[in-house]
Amino acid sequence: QSVLTQPPSASGSPGQRVTVSCSGSSSNIGSNRVSWYQQLPGTAPKLLIYNNSERPSGVPDRFFGSKSGTSASLAISGLQSEDEADYFCAALDDGPSVVVFGGGTTVTVL
């Protein structure tokens, strides 16, 4: 059971906007920075969003991260077929000072 809570699945049609939520607590998301990872089938995860809302170089601006209180969200606008992947959120947890992850959300493009 993951410390951060994500819905198991999300879907949308090409061109639509999909949002993935990530819920935590005051000891992790509430007091630390959130990152998001995209994992395409058979590959290693890739950093998609860091520091709540920053995008690494090369990540399209269709991906948008936000955080409010003890929850965070990843929005994908202009959904494309290549966005079909698993998406994970992560944050540091102050208690044990360890990195905790969400269980992952599989995004399907209909």
Per CB under 8 A, the segment of 9-17, 18-26, 70-78, 84-92 that binds another protein is 84-92
Among 18, 29, 32, 73, binds another protein (CB under 8 A): 32
- Give the 3-state secondary structure of residue 81: helix
Size of the site for another protein (CB under 8 A): 28
Whole-Å CA distances, 56 to 23, 40, 76, 77, 105: 23, 17, 15, 17, 21
x-or-dash string of contact with another protein, 56-75, rule CB under 8 A: x-------------------
- Maximum Cα–Cα distance for the chain, whole Å? 41
